[in-house]
Each structure stands twice: as C-alpha cells, then as structure tokens.
Amino acid sequence: MARHLITSALPYINGIKHLGNMVGSMLPADVYSRYLRQRGHEVLYICATDEHGTPAELAAKAAGQSVQEFCAEQHDAQKAIYDGFALSFDYFGRSSSQQNREITQEFARELKANGFIEERAIRQVYSIADGRFLPDRYIEGTCPHCGYDKARGDQCENCTRLLDPTDLINPRSAVSGSTELEVRETTHLFLLQSKLAGEVEAWIDENGKDWPTLASSIARKWLTEGLNDRAITRDLDWGVPLPADVWPELAAQGKVFYVWFDAPIEYIGATKEWSDADPANRDWKSWWYETTDVRYTEFMAKDNVPFHTVMFPATQLGTRAPWKKVDYVKAFNWLNYYGGKFSTSQQRGIFTDAALELLPADYWRYFLMANAPESDDTSFSWELFSSTVNKDLADTLGNFVNRVLSFSLKRFGDTVPAGDAPGEAERALGAEVAGLLAEYEGHLDTLQFRKAAQALRALWSAGNVYLESKAPWLEIKTNPEGAALTLRTAMQLIHLYGVLSAPFIPASAAAMRAVFATDDTAVEPTWVSQEQAAALDFVPAGTSFTVPPVLFAKITDEDLAAWRERFGAQ
C-alpha cells in the first residue's frame, strides 16, 4: 500500500485568504487526506506560509512592522483560521524556516555544480525616489498582453501571464507611486531552464499522462512556447540568502533567492520541520529522497500550475539527485464572486475569517466542494450558497437525522428499537447504498470532488426516500414492529452518514456518530466497505442514543439581505 504525500500550494503571508484560495488548494487536499486516512493509508499532508518575496515586504511596510514580526504574526493568524476550517495538516510550516534555508541553498549548490545556474548582468528597473531596484510586486503598471492596469512586475493577476518588471507599460513604484524610474545594470543568478527543457518534456510525457486536462494543458503550453532561462535571485532584504561559499560577491551584496525558487522547496523544508519537531515522526527523507513507495499529489489553482509542473520539476531534475517528483497535479479554475475575481490584494469577496464569523466551517466546506471550480470557473453568489445549505445540509441531511431520532425517542424511548427482521425494502436500500458508496469512492479516488459531493448527497437522499416510502409515523398505528425496523434502519444510515461524510463535514459527521453510545469517537473513523454498507448493521438494537441540536440552521431571507449588503454582492 502506497504512502501518500499531499501538498497544498503555499498561501502567501500577505493577509487572510479568501474563499477562492481555500477551495483552490487547501480544502480539497484536506478532503482527500481525510478520505485516505479513513481508508487506512499512511498520509503526510504538508503545507506552509509562503513568507518571502515582495508581497511580504510590502504588507509588512503597510502594517508598520518589521517583516519578521509581520510574518510571525500572520503565520499564527492564518493557522488559526485553517484550524477553524478543520484542515488536517500533519504540519503547517514556514518558508522562512532554517530547514528551508538550508535545503534551498543545497539545491542551488547542486544546480551550480551541474552547470544549470550562471551569473548574468541584466538591466532592471530602479526607483530614484525609493533608492532601490524594483523587483516583482515592487513595481506596477499596465500588462502588455491584456491591458490590465494593475499588473505586477512578476505576473498579471488578470491574464496570469508571467512578466518581468521591464515588460510593464506606464510603470510606477508600488512603494511610493513614483514614476521617476530608470533602468540600471545589476547581476543576478539565472536557472538555465532552456538546458533542461528536453528533460522536463520527457518527464511530463512519462508522468503527466493522467493529469487533469487543466494541469496538463498549461504545462504543455509552457513547453510549446519555450522554456526560458529565469532569474532566481532578487534585490530584497527578506529571503533565503545566497550561500557565501559559492557566490561570495553576490551574497555580500545581500541578494536573496527569488520566492518562486525557494517556495516549492519548502514542501521538503516543511517536511523536515515536521520531522525535526518530533523524533517519533518518520525521517523526512523517506518521503522525498530515493523513495519508491510514495504517491505524491499536489493541489493548486491554475495560476500556480506552471511553477509546479515545469519550474520546480526542472529545479529537481537539475540537481541530479533522486528527489521525489509529483505524481498527480490537481488543478482548479477560479472561484469568482458575482462574476468578478476574488482578490486578496483588492479585498474583493468573502475572506475566510469573515466566513467563520458567519457560520461554522462545515457549511462552507460542503458548499465549496459541491461547487468546486474543476472543469471551469464558477461563481459564488449568496443565493446559490443559501440554496445549497438549505436544500442539501438542512433539509436532506439535518432534517433526516432530527426526524428519525426525535420520532423514535417519542415512540420507543432512548435506545435503538429492535422491531422486525429486515425485509425487501431494507435489502433494496442496502443495495442502493452500496452502489452509491462505490460511486462516491470512485470519485474521491480520482479526485473529482463535485461528483463526489453529488454521490454523497445521493446517499443522504436515499435515506429520505426510504423514510417517506415506509412512513413510520403511519406504520406505527398498525405495525409497531415494522415501524421499529424502519427507525432502526434509518439509524444505521445516520451512523453510516457519520462515517462517509467525515471528509467533507468532519464536525457534523462526528456529531452524527456521537448520537449513539458506542466507542466510535475517532476523528477520522474507519471507512465502511460496500458489503458493510449493504448490510446496514452498525448500531445494535438497545444502544442508547440522544437527539442532537439542529445540525444545520437554515439561512433566512434576512440573512441573505444582510450579507449581500455587507459583502457588496452585485
């Protein structure tokens, strides 16, 4: 059985993330990790804050803090929110860690030794008013490709094209707004990706055959356009410093590695952080170096695909060391907000801290996965959110649990009733549930989350259809033992839902399992086989139960009006 290494694209440190960030990498990775653990697999789910580069420095400056203080504070703030969303990271690290610094520098040494890094004199934008070079997001202007007037010096947020600061039209300093700019010569290190292009293409040919179309098409597009050499150092105060034993002069100038060079390496660095933090953890190299039993899955939004499918593999290949490379890239399109993009930099849309202030995490977890932007961009609206919560969570699942337990408590007391032996209706229900479980597993195995959510919803609906067809509130008048069987069977479904729903709505799933006085208190309960699902025999008659509080409250028209006004829905 393979061990599963799972990573989410590292969230930037420059502020709290929006729901688009959540659904584009961290949440689906968590759902998949939870599912695999329930199936008995060994899983290591790694993530970290991405703390280097101009976004961190600019955000720290705006906050009036040193960049070190800002990053430490924001790491804790982000981690608290991810805990609130019940993201089950095995470790959530920091790209500014000593471990990442050491591994990044070792990567660079190996690339240099193998002839894939060279020094080049280049011309770069210099701000006279600020007295400094303006790399990446320190400069803004109009994108030469799409005309977006707030493009950054490293990438256009609108069309996702990668840029150099000198590409921008009507450039201005992001620090002071000054347009008093000139181009000066400076020296930087370049990763010679052009020399690795053939190896990268061969690697993608071999390993990318089963990737989703979104990921493979972006990777192929980059290769078709040509893999250019890329500067991997910057003139910044904050970042992984160049190793002085290899580049003493540039190190003395204070140059640091480009954030997109060290950020993917932090997946390895964070794994070493995890291993160093607890000696009981398996050695970090067993996950990343000369390993044959690890399946590595990456989760990211589409703008991160080029870095993970081309640039980072080129970096790994160029070291000539047996680093573990990704097996499967799960990429997502955009989640938009009423047709416009969620944006951290422009504070547009719903941010994760505000979401948790409104409703518990499970509401958001289910909605986001049920509407995950897999095949194309999707748009968030409060109306869609309300409809999904009210129909699927409140009516289909929550109401089923409450109806069954409340009625059984009223008519048969606080233990699971016995009643008749299962009949044809129960056997047909078991067969249907087993079939739906097979569909659910198939979609989760292939990381098709919207389809998995549909299969889970169908499992919940099966219980309601069974309950309506048997109508125990009528059945009890003429056949109390038959009504007891119906309720006992429905309670088996409640327990089953408490197991199978755990990847999507872990807190609510735990509440469903806690209804029954059994020993099943695991955070990630053991998965149920299709044979067990068909038997519908999980909770013995006579087991005590309680009626929980309402699992999901309905969203009212008043709620909708207030939220639309607060968050600027259009």
Residue numbering of the annotated binding site: 143, 146, 156, 159, 344
- Which positions ≥6 away from 306 have C-beta within 8 Å? 162, 218, 219, 222
CA distances from 391 to 157, 341, 352, 399, 464 (A): 35, 27, 23, 10, 12
**DSSP symbols for 83-121:** HHTT---SEEEETTSHHHHHHHHHHHHHHHHTT-EEEEE
CA distances from 367 to 34, 374, 388, 502 (A): 17, 14, 7, 14
| Calpha distance 490→22 (Å, rounded) | 34
- The token duo for 520 is 């099943």
The half-sphere exposure of 65 on its side-chain side, counting CA atoms within 13 A, is 13
Bridge-based pairing of strands 340-341 and 117-127 is: unpaired
295 SS3 class:
strand
Q: Which residue type occupies 431? A: A
177 SS3 class:
coil
Cβ–Cβ under 8 Å, residues 86 and 296:
no
Give the distance between the most distant pair of CA atoms in the chain.
92
- Which residue ranges make up the annotated binding site for Zn(2+)? 143, 146, 156, 159
- Which residue ranges make up the annotated binding site for ATP? 344
| Calpha distance 306→300 (Å, rounded) | 11
